[in-house]
Structures are given as C-alpha cells and as structure tokens.
Structure 1
C-alpha cells in the first residue's frame, strides 16, 4: 500500500478521470453526503453509472457540500478536497449559488412554514412578517403549530411571493434569522356534519330573504369559518355548499360567488337543475380563464351576469365582441358586468307557439301586390323574348348588375346537360374572386353594360307561376324585391332547366316611373324536386309546331292589326288607344306592353281608353 500523501503518479485514461484524488485508504468510512433523493438505493446499488453522472447531479443540487475554507482549486464546479492524510470530505470553499426564484402555482393557496416558529409568539411572528412586506397585508388562515414549526396559509400570490423573499431576512429579538418556506398547497379538509353546520350558519347571515339573494363573496374568509378550510374553489366544498343552499333556499334567484378563486367550474352545471329560478349570477374577481368555461351553465336563464375581474375578459380586445359572445351563451341577458345591455336583435317566442304557415310569397305591404305582379309580367315577357334590348327602359342610367354561378355538386360538372358554361366564365363569386380589380371587372355598371351583358345569356323561358316572391321593402323612395324560380334554356341542346335567385332594388326615375338601380342574379342547377314541379302550374311548354305549309306572307296592315288585337286583349284598351300606343313605340309589342303597365300603375291612362 502506498504511503499516505505519497505514491508514484499514474497516467489516467480519459474515461477514468475523476475530480478527486484516488489515493484514499480503503478503510475510510466517511462518505459524501447527498440530500434525500440524490441516490436511488434499489438493490443496494448507486443509480449513477459513473462519477460523471454524480457530477451532473451535484451541479443541480441545492445542498451545500461545505461551508468552511480549505485549499481552493481553479477548476469550477463542485470539488472534493483532501485534508491531512488525503481524507475525503474535507471542507471546501463556499460557492455562490443562483438564488431561487418564486414560481406561482396553479392553486391559489400557499402554505407558509416557519421552522422553529414555536419558539416565538404568534403575534411576534405575524408582526415581523407584516412589517417586512408592508404595505402589503395578509390574513393568516388556519394558523397552528406543527411540532416546532408554525404553519399557516395565504390566498394571494403577491403576498406569497413577498413572504418567499423574506426568507432569512428578518431578525428576531433573539438574533435568530427567521426562515420562511413557501409551498403551493391547500389545507386538507374532511367535510363532515360539523363543517356543514358551520357553513349553514355562515350562509344564513349572508342571505337576503326580501330579494332571495345569497352573498358568498370571499366565503373562505368569513370570520365564522376561521377554524376550518372552506374555499369554494374546491369542487367538493362547492358541491356541499350547493346542497345546503338547495335544501334551505330552493327558490334562490340571485347568487354572488365573487372573489372565491374559482378556476374550473364544470361542476357548476348542477346549478341549472338545483335552482330553476336563478336569474342573477356574480362570478367576478375569480380565475376563470376562458369564456368557454361557462358552457356548463348555459342552461341557466340568466338576466344578469357579472364576469369582470376574470382572465377571460382580458382575452377580448373588442368589448362589443365580448358582449356578443356572452349573449350567445345567455340570450336573455339584460345586464352584464353592471352595465345595462341594449335590446338584443331578434325575437323571442315560446316553444309552444306555432309558427305561421309557409307562404310562397311575402309582401311587406299588400298594396305592392299589383305592382309586383305587373313588374314581373313586363320584365320577364321582354327577357324571354327574342330581343332583350327593350330592357334598357327598365334600368336606371347608373344601374349596377352582377351575376354569380355555382354547381350544386361536383357531379353536375360531368353532365353536358347540367354544365353552366354560359355563366361560369362571367361569374362574380366573391368567395372565389378575392382581388378588388377582378371584382370590379365582373361588376356591370350603366344600363348599356347591363342589358348588353344580359343579351349574351341563352334564350330562356321562365316559369312565372312557380316563382317564390318576397317584397322586402315597399316605400315611395325604394322597392326591394327578391324571387326564386326556374327557367329553361330554349336555344340550348336538351333545353336544360336552371334554378335562379334574383334581387332587384327599384327606385323612382325622373319621368315619374320606376327603374332598377341594382340587379343581383345567382344561377345554379335545379334539384330533382324543382325539375318535377317546373312548368306544372298551368304554364305548359309550347307544343311542337306542325310541318310548315306554304302560306301567303301577311301584309304590313295585317301584321299591325294582329298586334292591335293582342294589345287590346292583354291590356283591355280599345283599338284606338292600342293603335296609338303601338305607333308611339314603333310597333314594338313588348315595349308597348311595358309602357302601358308602367303608365297604368301610375294612373296616367284615362278611363276613356278602356271604353269599347
């Protein structure tokens, strides 16, 4: 055995390099002291595979390995020093350790432990702590002695952090530096009959029988509950409180749960079954993180709700959106966070009230019925004719028009009869066309552009009797008319049927009539039900024409007489007035019908025009 402190040097391998001298007597029984948990003594073996693993553990260890001086070494990190005779565990130099930081816990309660606090009076300890953290104050909940230590709880994270920083910074009268240990923990509690009775008595003094309101604000801090832990953020305690309330105040209408450190509130869904009359609920100054946390309580028919002071409120940068989202969960709210809400947009009907029967058409004003009928007859008579140019008279000089087309399903694209090739290329679908320039390009402006655009569409035949028409606005200054229906393309192979939705905005013009100022058209494929019902309401398709036979070409006088007879039949005017109307319109029957209906609706045709 080599002499202590002596012996020849040895060339160590890299894998055998240790941070201590290996010349140690094998009979030395002293060991490096690790704090609990540093070693895993499963099967009596060290859990570290080599000393390098032990080094890493020591770097993270909070235990001071040596407090006194000794020969220092230049290498950093924890070192093992050899004293006289090469013994291990000789005192090493004191090393600066990083200061521990306070980390807030998920739970809103903190346990404060004062080691050897039993040596001092309770008032002396509390006064010393309060003086150090001033101007902050705290209530020491459930103060008691546990062996030589004094233990109490606080329910404020700011106070807990200041007490954490007070560790060994307060000098007691005997010169002792007061140690303060802070842990994120809640007191243990067992709900028994005695605790429930105390809760019941505390609630009784907080109940207002005249308003049927119970105030449980900061319930755990009630003086009558000073000796028991009764924090309502614990689900088991909250449910016990609800049972007590339901048993003694079943007709409760208002409940205040402000400032109770509430976080998870899923268990509060029981409120809707326990309290049918609950209309007012205060949940302010709690820790509710998201608006979605209130979903379990959506069945409550609340008229007033208070949420201010919760993190969920700060998640909304726009107050209007916050109010709107809360109202979606509680539609009957009239007061939120102490502020009266404006009336909700919509209507509220009882579930047992039957809705009115479905109608094909809706007229906001029955007085507009004749005008709507005449307008549709005139417009689509021209639209379905060989030439749509007379529609120039129907549109305002500054009219705008847009058309959008889309398929009901991808299957429709594969059938030649259902393809919307005539419309898709000009479709102004703003879900698909996002660039402003392209949106502007697909918008037709001015009567010439509009009628020219409409003239490019295939020839059509509309099922007027199958229209569903809504007259939404009917005032002297504006008419808004929408309709749904079907039409056939008469010059397309197979004569495919299309479904359409159209909206007209109509305004008075300078001549005393009305003009279309805005036209929005949407075209798609028909459903099977629409195809079965189309043109089945008395407007049948024209039968196929017989084989042509040579007939004499009618003269101009014969043609004019036919048009006069048709106009007399459709308007009820006599032949004289019908002929004048046709002459003024250049013998254009469709235009004459249009002008007649326009003047007739304005009352400008004298009674003698109908005398035959």
Structure 2
C-alpha cells in the first residue's frame, strides 16, 4: 500500500525547462517544509529594488514574482518543519499578490500534452465570463507558457490552479509569475514594427494609431510593449525616420507609466500637436513634464490614475493648461478660451518708460504734490502731513521678505514693519484685518510718525499716473529709501499707491494710502542714490561758465531744453546739465528741481541768463 501523500514534488529543471513528474488528482503530493530547503528564497529579498531594472532591461522569464516563498509550518505542539495538515485542517489558502509589472507569465506544466486550443478553452471556461488574449504562446520542454497583460485575469488564472480537470484525469497546474518576456530590439524586430505602423498610419490626417500596440496580430510572435522604454524609443526612431511631419499620435492602452524617456518627442517630432494617452498607468500630472515642450493643442488622458487625484475638474483643467498653454481640447471636450492678451507672439512691445502719465495735463500737479509730500515725510516731523490727508482717509501697510535668508541678517530684518503688516494672506480673521487698517487722518499720520526716519532716493522714483479726472487721481510709485535712524542705515524697497480727491479748500488730499515694504535686491543696492545731480546743481556757488559754442541738439532735445528753462527759470547751461543727468526725462528733472529748490540748494547763478 503506498504511503499517504507519497507523490513526489514537482521539480522545474533549469537545464531543459520541463517538469519531472505528473501531478495526478488521485495521488496527493507530499510537501516538505524543512528549513533551508527553499533555495530560491533570496530571489524575493531584492524584488522591490529590481523593479525598475525589470522595466528598463531584459527580464529573465524564469524570474519569480507574485508569490513569495512559503514559510515552515509549526503545528499545535509540533516542531518547526513538520508536515502541514491537509486541506481543510488549518492550511492557509494561497493569496494572489499583484506585482509591479503590467505583465504576467502563465506556466502550464505538461501543457504540451494537450493542444493549445484545448488548454486555452479549459482556462476560458473556468474563468467565464471573463476572456483574455494569450500573448506569445509557446511550448518550452513539456510546459506551455504564455503571457497576459491584465492583473484581474492573472488573479483568476492564479486561483484556477488544480481546479480544472482535464479529460485524462489530471488536474491542470497553473503557475503565475509577475514578469515580462525577454526582448531584443534588433533589425528584424524594427522591420516588423515598421510594417505594423505603416498599416496604422493615416496619411490624410498625418495620424498614427498605436493603440494597444503589443496586441497587434502581426506582432503575435514578438514582445513589443511600448511601456518598455527601449521599445518606445525604437518606435519613436522609426516614426521620426519615416513620418517626420506626424501631427497626431495615439498611445492609448499601452500601460505607460514612466514618461521621462518621451522628452525626445519635442526634438524628434516637432510637428506633433495631438496626443492620446488614455487608459494607461500615468500616476501623477507631474509625470507629463517631459512632454511640456510639445506644442499640443489636443490631449487625451482619461483612464489614467492621475485623474483620481483631482476632486475639482476645473482645477484639473487649469493644472493641465499650465503645462500645455496652447491646449484647446482636453479629454474630448473643447476648452473655454484661455484668459490672456489677444496679441500675436511676435508683437513688438513699446519701449520701457521710467514713468507713465495717462494725461500729460497732470504732470505739474503730480510733481508739486510728490515734492511737497516727501519733503515733509523725510523731515524731522511728519505732523504737517495732517494737511495732506482727508478726514476719512484710510491707510494700510504690508511687509514681506524677498527670501528667508533676509530674516537671519540684522541689517535686512523688517521687524519694525512686520509687526504692523496687514498681509491679508497671513491675517485671515476679519477683526484682525480691521485692527491693522488705519482710519482717519489722525490715525494715519500717527502711524506714519512711528515708522523709521527716512531719506528717499528721489532720482530713482518710477511714478505712474493711472487715473486723472477732476474727481479722482490714482498715483503709484516704486522706489528706494534709507532709514536714517536705524543702525547701519539699511536700504528698503517700497511700492506706494495714493488715491487723491479734491478737498473743500480747493486743493487735493489723500483718501487712500497703501504702502508695501520689502528688502532690496543686490542690483537695487548697487544703484541706490547713485543718480544725484551734484554737477547740475552744486551745493556751493560756482563761477559763471565761460561762454562756449552752443551745442547742437535734436529737435526733441531742444524742445525739452526750452520747456525746462521756461518752467524753472534756469538758464540753458543748468537746464542742459539737469536733463542730461536725468536721462532727458523731463518729468524727473522737474521733480528734482522742485525738491532741491524747496530745500534751498539751487544757487542763484542757475537763474542768470
């Protein structure tokens, strides 16, 4: 009488790839769980570390995956390594573990004893109503081997192990491994790929359809999955060589994951404007960064995991458009027009101006107003500014650092400003926002008086007059100033906006004042207070210059010279020096003249004609 469970273990022989012994349903196998007998367990220790290698290089078809090594069984009161109980007496059911690769190798030991159609029909009947396509079905020794590209099918086949009774009384053994076939991209393979692409190309629309490329019937004998970078790069080379003007490419359902190697598309296929990549495995929107250089107008991404990361479809559209600004169609839906400037790409912009006036008639008013305001602001007392503000004036200040490094240097700290900063991104409570808003001219001037004493670089001002009407003036300016009573006299950069309205006395006053303060850049530091007028308006009297031949000017310069002389009363020599020092900017020249004139720094000789 044979021993219970006396059947021998199945043995996969590495030399000829076939199984040594049949596994009959009527003869249960005897399984050994002795420690140290599982010689292949080290293959699993580095599985996760080699996943990338498996994707980028050829893979051994015998590599293990999906199932880990079985652990020794310890029965109740028994020793380690004792035989495991038979089914139904405590043995753990095999569990399918999805692998990292999108392909699964199916091994049917002794599958060579049956026709291909018989084996496949038995498997299809068992997992019905599911169906699958067996890729690269081959006979290795006495085993049948094929591949599937669907994890759900792989799991069903995994659980079909020893559950299908064949006509000869044997139960079909099914082994599932997470691995991809070996591949060698040679000239013969490239030629076959080229022929398949030729039949999938539409010359009328310059479109190439590579949907589920590996499943093409003409490629049934070779492994040609585009998710493998080496195969995808070979496909791109074939396209670039034969269809360099390709405009539309369909890569749907190719199990694409990493796209870093696709950055060459922008150099190989410069005319590509339409790209379909639906039903792949693209995990993040950032995975599309290698494609940002493509001038895409249409993109299809449905069926990728990246869409599950967006709860708001509008945010999804916005983020995709940031990467592909020319996109007009996404996932089969026309996008609304992008918000932007309706100008051509090669438009020539007007030259940059130091200052801008919406209405030249406001020039004198702006010059006079700013001259008086900053003369008081930079003085010892700012109390006279009470006359410059409306009774119901409001004022707010915001401050921020250019970089975090500025916080650590004593000379660049903004402690005196940050504590009073009304940064509404940082201050979210309504009551706090109200507290940092100064209302009424007494509060405004009191707040300004507490700020550090300053000296502004008047020559470096950039002033813009944005609104100039009888009832409202909006004035903005950018510039630099130094703190005169702070250790080290640090230089600050500021932006200020004044909203000015008529007052009851017939003049003008500030109804709203917004100030922003930050650190200066290195370039601003180097240019600060470097554009003064020491030669044009010296601090001490100078002898009248010896008459010299009148220089020749262009008509525009001569007109500016005459205008400055008429409005200031200075002679031609001083007016010329003033304009030359300010880069022939009449507004700046007038502004500086009024500032220095109010301080008594212009000598009488400047007015001798």
Normalising by the residue count of structure 1, what TM-score does the alignment of the two structures yield? 0.65
Please name the residue that 1:129 is paired with. Answer: 123
Please name the residue that 1:75 is paired with. Answer: 77
How far the C-alpha of 1:112 sits from its partner, in A, is 1.4
Cα distance in structure 1, aligned partners of 2:334 and 2:364: 45
Q: Taking structure 1 as reference, are residues 119 and 368 closer, same or farther at Cα in structure 2, changes over 3 Å only?
A: farther
Determine if contact 1:308/1:337 at 8 Å carries over to the other structure.
Answer: yes
Please name the residue that 1:483 is paired with. Answer: 477
How far the C-alpha of 1:111 sits from its partner, in A, is 1.2
Cα distance in structure 1, aligned partners of 2:169 and 2:82: 33
Alignment of 1:423-442 (within 5 A): 423-424=416-417, 427-428=420-421, 430=423, 436=429, 440-442=434-436
How far the C-alpha of 1:503 sits from its partner, in A, is 2.4
Aligned residue-pair number? 480
Q: Which runs of 5+ in 1 are unaligned?
A: 1-30, 42-58, 66-72, 82-90, 545-568, 573-612
Q: Does 1:388 align with 2:383?
A: yes
How far the C-alpha of 1:450 sits from its partner, in A, is 0.9
Alignment of 1:411-560 (within 5 A): 413=410, 423-424=416-417, 427-428=420-421, 430=423, 436=429, 440-457=434-451, 462=456, 464-472=458-466, 480-486=474-480, 499-506=492-499, 516-523=510-517, 528-533=525-530, 535-536=532-533
Q: Does 1:239 align with 2:233?
A: yes
Determine if contact 1:506/1:514 at 8 Å carries over to the other structure.
Answer: no
Q: Taking structure 1 as reference, are residues 92 and 384 closer, same or farther at Cα in structure 2, changes over 3 Å only?
A: closer
Cα distance in structure 2, aligned partners of 1:235 and 1:143: 24
SS in structure 2 opposite 1:228? coil
Please name the residue that 1:113 is paired with. Answer: 107
Please name the residue that 1:325 is paired with. Answer: 319
How far the C-alpha of 1:222 sits from its partner, in A, is 1.4
Please name the residue that 1:151 is paired with. Answer: 145
How far the C-alpha of 1:203 sits from its partner, in A, is 1.1
How far the C-alpha of 1:366 sits from its partner, in A, is 5.5
SS in structure 2 opposite 1:469? strand
Q: Which one of 187, 198, 203 corresponds to residue 181 of structure 2? A: 187
Q: Taking structure 1 as reference, are residues 430 and 64 closer, same or farther at Cα in structure 2, changes over 3 Å only?
A: closer
SS in structure 1 opposite 2:107? strand
How far the C-alpha of 1:178 sits from its partner, in A, is 2.2
Determine if contact 2:266/2:293 at 8 Å carries over to the other structure.
Answer: yes
SS in structure 1 opposite 2:307? helix
Determine if contact 1:498/1:523 at 8 Å carries over to the other structure.
Answer: no
1:460-496 Cα deviation digits (max 9, x unpaired): 6655444211345667887543212345778x59995
How far the C-alpha of 1:399 sits from its partner, in A, is 1.7
Higher relative contact order (CA 8 A, sep 6+): 2
Determine if contact 1:463/1:487 at 8 Å carries over to the other structure.
Answer: yes
1:276-302 Cα deviation digits (max 9, x unpaired): 211122222111223333333333222
How far the C-alpha of 1:102 sits from its partner, in A, is 0.8
Q: Taking structure 1 as reference, are residues 103 and 266 closer, same or farther at Cα in structure 2, changes over 3 Å only?
A: same
Please name the residue that 1:298 is paired with. Answer: 292
Q: Taking structure 1 as reference, are residues 34 and 298 closer, same or farther at Cα in structure 2, changes over 3 Å only?
A: same
Determine if contact 1:392/1:448 at 8 Å carries over to the other structure.
Answer: no
Please name the residue that 1:397 is paired with. Answer: 392
Cα distance in structure 1, aligned partners of 2:249 and 2:78: 62
Please name the residue that 2:37 is paired with. Answer: 38
SS in structure 2 opposite 1:533? coil
SS in structure 2 opposite 1:264? coil
Q: Does 1:275 align with 2:269?
A: yes
Please name the residue that 2:585 is paired with. Answer: none
1:288-325 Cα deviation digits (max 9, x unpaired): 22333333333322222222222223233444443343
Cα distance in structure 1, aligned partners of 2:450 and 2:536: 25
SS in structure 2 opposite 1:196? helix
SS in structure 2 opposite 1:150? strand
Determine if contact 2:252/2:278 at 8 Å carries over to the other structure.
Answer: yes
1:180-207 Cα deviation digits (max 9, x unpaired): 2111122223333333232222111211
Determine if contact 2:401/2:407 at 8 Å carries over to the other structure.
Answer: no
SS in structure 2 opposite 1:481? strand
- State which drifts further: 360-369 or 178-187: 360-369
Cα distance in structure 2, aligned partners of 1:197 and 1:214: 17
Please name the residue that 1:9 is paired with. Answer: none
Please name the residue that 2:581 is paired with. Answer: none
Please name the residue that 2:61 is paired with. Answer: none
Cα distance in structure 1, aligned partners of 2:182 and 2:483: 81
Cα distance in structure 1, aligned partners of 2:519 and 2:223: 69
How far the C-alpha of 1:215 sits from its partner, in A, is 0.8
SS in structure 2 opposite 1:518? strand
How far the C-alpha of 1:218 sits from its partner, in A, is 0.6
How far the C-alpha of 1:508 sits from its partner, in A, is 5.2
1:550-603 Cα deviation digits (max 9, x unpaired): xxxxxxxxxxxxxxxxxxx9999xxxxxxxxxxxxxxxxxxxxxxxxxxxxxxx
Cα distance in structure 2, aligned partners of 1:525 and 1:480: 25
Query: Whose Rg is larger?
Result: 1
Q: Which runs of 5+ in 2 are unaligned?
A: 1-29, 41-67, 542-565, 570-609
Determine if contact 2:102/2:151 at 8 Å carries over to the other structure.
Answer: yes
Q: Taking structure 1 as reference, are residues 360 and 179 closer, same or farther at Cα in structure 2, changes over 3 Å only?
A: same
Q: Taking structure 1 as reference, are residues 180 and 280 closer, same or farther at Cα in structure 2, changes over 3 Å only?
A: same
1:188-240 Cα deviation digits (max 9, x unpaired): 23333333232222111211111111110111111222232221112222222
Please name the residue that 1:253 is paired with. Answer: 247
Q: Taking structure 1 as reference, are residues 149 and 404 closer, same or farther at Cα in structure 2, changes over 3 Å only?
A: closer
Cα distance in structure 2, aligned partners of 1:222 and 1:216: 9
1:527-554 Cα deviation digits (max 9, x unpaired): 653544264389979889xxxxxxxxxx
- State which drifts further: 437-446 or 281-290: 437-446
